[in-house]
Amino acid sequence: MIVKRDFIYTPKAVSRCLHIWLPEDYDRTEEHYPVMYFFDGHNLFLNQDATYGKSWGLKEFLEGWEKPMIIVGIECSHEGQERLSEYLPYPGISWLSSFDPQGEATMDWIVNEIKPMIDREYRTIPFRECTAIGGSSMGGIMALYAGVHYNRWFSKAACVSSSIGCCMEPLHADLTDSYISADTRIYLSWGTREAGAEHHDREDVSTPTYHHNKSVADALIQRGAAVYMDCQIGGGHCEADWEKLVPTFMDFLWMR
């Protein structure tokens, strides 16, 4: 079942909706559950809530998946370009250089306010080994940032179509300087169409997007983390294609 509740985004003192998935038997058991947090939470479950009318289909997936868990979808700002700043953890380059990077404030809000509330009010398994985070596009950058910079809280991250090309230098500095536990699991994906690959019927091993993800994967592997690089052949930058990746990244993060 899906529970919606408002929660104050303290960096700006405004309300943001949390879209919370609870296992169907939640009210009939005393079981405690692992938790996965997602950025752009309004796009996860229901088409009528999604920005472009198409969700990730996560509700249908979870209803048929064998591992019961709690999902916390954190809705972004819908005011102008605020989402880009709030989901930018490092100073950006090119077209993102004009945005104030507020990603650290957003992550501090998640780990110091949202997570404690979720652990207090729902039956969670609060330890990092049972806590993951995910997102797409700018949310993918944030998921990667969380998995690296906030590794004390998150042992798993699904980084889908991450716009990491805008901040490779500070990201690599973080990969070098941050403590990363050897049990960390990171999923990195991109689609051939969004990457501008010459051919969309074969795996991309040549575009800048590939090289960005490969360099991040290599750095994580050197630190002992497990990494799944997933090039989606024919994949674009949209929820309909990200929905197809859900079984792969959920199984990699949670079932292996």
User: Residue 246 belongs to what domain range?
Assistant: 2-254
Q: Tell me the pLDDT tens digit for each residue of 149-167.
A: 999 999 999 999 998 998 9
How many structural domains are present in the chain?
Answer: 1
Q: Tell me the pLDDT tens digit for each residue of 88-139.
A: 999 887 777 888 899 999 999 999 999 999 999 999 999 999 999 999 999 9
User: How far apart, in whole angstroms, are the C-alpha atoms of residue 102 and residue 105?
Assistant: 5
Report whether pLDDT(256) > 80: no
Q: Tell me the pLDDT tens digit for each residue of 62-98.
A: 999 999 999 999 999 999 899 999 999 998 877 778 8
Q: Are β-strands 70-74 and 14-21 bridged in parallel, bridged antiparallel, or unpaired?
A: antiparallel
Give the H or E element holding residue 15.
Answer: strand 14-21
Dig out the tokens for 35 from the structure.
């938790």
If you average pLDDT over every residue of the chain, what do you get?
Answer: 95
User: Which CATH number goes with the domain that contains 176?
Assistant: 3.40.50.1820
User: Which residue(s) pair with 189 in the sheet?
Assistant: 160, 230
Query: What CA–CA distances, in Å, run from 105 to 109, 132, 179, 180, 195?
Result: 6, 19, 20, 21, 29
Q: Tell me the pLDDT tens digit for each residue of 4-43.
A: 999 999 999 999 999 999 999 999 999 999 999 999 999 9
Q: Tell me the pLDDT tens digit for each residue of 181-218.
A: 999 999 999 999 999 988 888 899 999 999 999 999 99
Which pLDDT score, from 0 to 100, does residue 175 have? 94
Give the H or E element holding residue 240.
Answer: helix 239-254
Dig out the tokens for 4 from the structure.
């919606």
